[in-house]
Structure 1
Amino acid sequence: MSKNYELIEVSKQGKLGLIALNRPKVLNAINRPMVSEILDAMENFEADSSVRAIVLSGKGRAFAAGADIDEMANDNAIDFELRNQFKDWDRLAMIKKPIIGAVQGFALGGGFELALCCDMLYAADDAEFGFPEVNLGVMPGAGGTQRLTKLVGKTRAMEWLFTGKRISAREALHCGIVNTLIAKELLLEETIKAAELIANQAPVSIRFIKEAVLKSVDTPLNEGMELERKNFYLLFSTEDQKEGMRAFIEKRKPEFKGK
């Protein structure tokens, strides 16, 4: 990508869009300009038909060790309301392409919230997750209480949010927060391999699967089933469905075009 970003590194690798948080001296603490840059990069990848999956990682020792406290320490409620503090976070949730996260070191506070925006998470065995906001007299505000509870259930979420306690990589794996643990030195390489596997699938199928799975989190079974069925039917109007089934019958690998 030709656009220059100050707080993230952005590149393309084959069918992947790569975004790396790049404030390593402050452990990639997340401030408002960084969130705006992440959103801009993701929306550009969303509009780029050559990109089929997005990989999100952090440079240095941490994924992101929290929000930039200096930035908000003197804000008040009306400042947040008038700024519409979390509008960019809301738009991150609208990205249709799969987002695969690679987490090493700390993913705390806003960093954990950003990780929870990913569709799949790969973690180094040294990764630590958590919401320490309660120790500052506040709470998560970019979806942390909601996404964590939907992933792990009420009682575990309450414990971690009430205490600010760290969640080890192994516990995060056990609770379904992350997909798998990988040695730190292989984390990005293995995450990219996993993302490439997804990027080589039929793009419209992946898009519709993501929509249906996210719908299932928030709606009764019958509503989710209605969407699943509609998306299933719609895929039979794609060229990729014809190619996929033809390739199966002809015993060859399909060549999906995202149409």
Structure 2
Amino acid sequence: MQDKSVIYHQDNGVGIITMQRAKANAYDLAMVTQFGQALQQAEQDSAVNAVIVKSGLAKFFCAGADIHAFSQNSTEDNQKMVTQARLNMATIESSNKIYIAQIAGHCLGGGVEIALSCDLRFAANGGYLLGLPEIKLGLIPGNGGTQRLVRLVGLSRALELLASGDNFNIEQAYHWGIVNRLYSEEELHQQTFDYALGLSNGPGLAIAATKKALREGVEVSLKQGLAIEQKYVDELYETKDANEGFLAFVEKRAAKFSGT
């Protein structure tokens, strides 16, 4: 294992960000800084339409903030860590790429917030737990957990989970819509990679437009959302990818998209 807590690499057009800070991917200032650097590498990788965020540890996706480090740090350093964590999640949400959290271990606090900021969450069956326990420290989630959770599961369920701070299992997360797809532990990596590979071979401009139309449209009225949709689809009509898509359909062959 390398010295870095977070690394980025590309595999056949799929970007992969791996968290690997022993023993639980509990993050400190150095780790969130390295996460931000890995995000910038992914964002600058023009060959990539999809990025998988995963853990290199066997039992944990991410245990959230390193409470021991947090309690010993200066207020200034803790604020830097929180600010960088928020920037990381904003980068994911504003990206033209699709980010997929691949979860196969305990995912708590800030780890859940990382997963919620991703566009999709694919997970493995198992006995591990998820939760946002900040209330038990006299706090609330500070990296978007309240706002992203309520948009996924609704007000009543979000309040139930956040007010108690109790953990829940992966089957519950799937049932509530927090997790998109649930696989066996053996299948998770390949299934997630295959989905991401399909996106990376797809029409990058249309994928980006889809993400932006959904993320922007969900916050406004239907009338405003339809205007947002029209704006993005109008921009796609004259692209090379749209032309290729039509030709491939007519010629009954697989399209070869270029992202232009």
* Fold match by TM threshold 0.5: yes
Q: Aligned residue for 1:6?
A: 4
**Which residue of 40, 47, 51 maps to 2:48?**
51
Give, in whole Å, the separation in 1 of the partners of 2:3 and 2:26: 16
Quote the offset at 1:82 in angstroms: 7.2
Quote the offset at 1:77 in angstroms: 6.6
Quote the offset at 1:87 in angstroms: 3.5
Deviations 1:6-46, CA, capped at 9 Å, x for gaps:
111321111111111001x3211122222222222222221
Q: Aligned residue for 1:37?
A: 34
Superposed counterparts of 1:116-155, under 5 Å: 116-126=116-126, 127-155=128-156
The answer for unaligned runs of 5 or more in structure 2 is: none
Deviations 1:57-93, CA, capped at 9 Å, x for gaps:
0112111012111222256777656777234433333
Q: Is the 8 A contact 1:5 1:37 kept in 2?
A: no
Q: Is the 8 A contact 2:8 2:42 kept in 1?
A: no
Partner of 1:70: helix, strand, or coil?
A: helix
Q: Which amino acid aligns with 2:49?
A: R
Give, in whole Å, the separation in 2 of the partners of 1:71 and 1:224: 43
Q: Aligned residue for 1:219?
A: 220
The reply to whether residue 258 of structure 1 matches residue 238 of structure 2 is no
Q: Which amino acid aligns with 1:65?
A: A
Q: Is the 8 A contact 2:92 2:99 kept in 1?
A: no
The reply to whether residue 111 of structure 1 matches residue 108 of structure 2 is no
Q: Is the 8 A contact 2:25 2:60 kept in 1?
A: yes
Over aligned residues, Cα RMSD in angstroms?
A: 1.9
Q: Which amino acid aligns with 1:6?
A: K
Q: Is the 8 A contact 1:152 1:177 kept in 2?
A: yes
The 1:138/1:110 distance shift into structure 2, 3 A limit, reads same
Superposed counterparts of 1:92-241, under 5 Å: 92-126=92-126, 127-241=128-242
The 1:94/1:247 distance shift into structure 2, 3 A limit, reads same
Give, in whole Å, the separation in 2 of the partners of 1:56 and 1:105: 13
The 1:69/1:213 distance shift into structure 2, 3 A limit, reads same
Quote the offset at 1:145 in angstroms: 0.2
Give, in whole Å, the separation in 2 of the partners of 1:125 and 1:199: 26
Give, in whole Å, the separation in 2 of the partners of 1:211 and 1:82: 28
Q: Is the 8 A contact 1:96 1:211 kept in 2?
A: yes
Q: Which amino acid aligns with 2:105?
A: G
Quote the offset at 1:254 in angstroms: 0.5
Partner of 2:60: helix, strand, or coil?
A: coil
How many equivalent pairs are there? 255
Q: Which amino acid aligns with 1:8?
A: V
The 1:83/1:164 distance shift into structure 2, 3 A limit, reads closer
Give, in whole Å, the separation in 2 of the partners of 1:248 and 1:83: 49
Q: Which amino acid aligns with 2:47?
A: S
Q: Which amino acid aligns with 2:9?
A: S
Give me the TM-score of the superposition, normalised by structure 2.
0.91
Give, in whole Å, the separation in 1 of the partners of 2:103 and 2:80: 33
Partner of 1:66: helix, strand, or coil?
A: coil
Give, in whole Å, the separation in 2 of the partners of 1:139 and 1:94: 24
Q: Which amino acid aligns with 2:229?
A: E
Identity %: 34
Quote the offset at 1:128 in angstroms: 2.4
The 1:82/1:186 distance shift into structure 2, 3 A limit, reads closer
Q: Aligned residue for 1:245?
A: 246
The 1:83/1:110 distance shift into structure 2, 3 A limit, reads closer
Give, in whole Å, the separation in 2 of the partners of 1:58 and 1:45: 16
Q: Is the 8 A contact 1:35 1:89 kept in 2?
A: no
Q: Is the 8 A contact 2:43 2:95 kept in 1?
A: yes
